[in-house]
Structure 1
Amino acid sequence: MNLPVPVLTIGLLLMSNIFMTFAWYGHLKFKTAPLLTVILVSWGIAFFEYVLQVPANRIGHGHFNAAQLKTIQEVLTLSVFAVFSVWYLKEPLGWNHLLGFSFIALGAFFIFHKWA
């Protein structure tokens, strides 16, 4: 079964972002762990981010341009981070975070909209 390019690209970028978010922020729950340890663990997790992100961008480029790929990446990053922040870190998001994320989503609209 061949998945459409947008589905495959976005799916891979979503999974990549899950790994990235844990690599960048997962260690915040382990403040007593030595810094070198969390750096090495984070690098190990980030490897899987790259294993997913590089093919996503290669597969998606052509269907999407580079600016669109980056925009998809950023919207997914914020979406994954918002869920991660609330559920894993137990840090609530305020109205100001949601408003800021909304402005970024509005920016995505302008990037993807076909202008005459």
Structure 2
Amino acid sequence: MTFAHLMPIGLLAISNIFMTFAWYGHLKYPGKPLLIVIGVSWLIAFAEYCFAVPANRYGHEVYSAAELKTIQEVLTLTVFAVFSVFYLGEQLTLNHVIGFALICAGAFFIFKGPIG
């Protein structure tokens, strides 16, 4: 893999870390006022866009839009799984693992190319 292939993956990984905190980080603080949570989440999401937009712009030079979206979804699940266990203290169940594996299997077919 070349830098052109790896750079969008790295940028999407960083953007997913920001977005996971923007969407789910506040769950650890249920007593905080909703308007403050929305404002902080919005600021975090802005940082996410600063990584996601260049990732997709540059990534589209070597990946199709469907491939970029697939990369983003697999990274989202990976980041979320780690986040939910280590930040929120939730457990990953066998059902979660099987569901994530099936999504990854779908990603395999996106990148496999035409069948037949």
Please state which band the TM-score falls in when normalised by the shorter chain.
over 0.9
User: Where do 1:27-106 residues align within 5 Å?
Assistant: 27-106=26-105
Aligned residues: CA RMSD: 0.9
Q: What is the TM-score of this pair, normalised by structure 2?
A: 0.96
In 2, Cα distance between the equivalents of 1:12 and 1:58?
Answer: 11
In 2, Cα distance between the equivalents of 1:96 and 1:65?
Answer: 31
Task: Please give the per-residue CA displacement for 1:57-76, whole angstroms capped at 9, x wherever unaligned.
Answer: 00000310000000000000
In 1, Cα distance between the equivalents of 2:28 and 2:104?
Answer: 29
Q: Counterpart of 2:16?
A: 17
In 1, Cα distance between the equivalents of 2:48 and 2:11?
Answer: 9
Q: What is the TM-score of this pair, normalised by structure 1?
A: 0.96
Structure 1 stretches of 4+ moved >4 Å: none
| Structure 1: unaligned runs, 5 residues or longer | none
In 2, Cα distance between the equivalents of 1:84 and 1:6?
Answer: 25
TM-fit CA distance, 1:114: 2.4
- The residue identity in structure 1 corresponding to 2:62 is H
Give the number of equivalent residue pairs: 114
TM-fit CA distance, 1:5: 1.1
Task: Please give the per-residue CA displacement for 1:25-83, whole angstroms capped at 9, x wherever unaligned.
Answer: 00001100000000000000000100000000000003100000000000000000000
The alignment-based identity, stated in percent, is: 63
